[in-house]
Amino acid sequence: MRPLLLSLLVFASTAFLRAADAAPLVYLAGDSTMAIKQLDLPERGWGMALNGLFKDPAMVQNHAVNGRSTRSFIDEGRWARLVAALQPGDFVLIQFGHNDEKIENPKVGTDVATVFPDNLRRFIKDVRAKQATPILATPVARRKFDQAGKLQPTHGAYPDAIRAVAAAEQVPLLDLEKATSAWLQSVGDEPSKKFFMWIAPGAHPLIPGGRQDDTHFVEAGAVHLAELAAAQIRELKLPLAQWLK
**Distance (Å, whole) CA 199 – CA 41:** 11
pLDDT of 103-156, one tens digit each?
A: 999 999 999 999 999 999 999 999 999 999 999 999 999 999 999 999 999 999
23-243: CATH architecture = 3-Layer(aba) Sandwich (3.40)
* The model's pTM: 0.90
Query: Which residues lie below 8 Å from residue 47, measured CB to CB, with a gap of 6+?
Result: 28, 30, 34, 35, 36, 60, 62, 64, 226
Nearest of 167, 175, 113, 112 to residue 139 by alpha carbon:
175
What percentage of the chain has pLDDT greater than the value 70? 91
**Distance (Å, whole) CA 54 – CA 125:** 26
Helix axes 176-187, 219-235, angle to 10 degrees: 130
**Distance (Å, whole) CA 95 – CA 135:** 9
- Torsions phi, psi of 235, nearest 5? -60, -35
Reported as a pLDDT band with limits 50, 70 and 90, residue 28 is very high
**Distance (Å, whole) CA 234 – CA 36:** 24
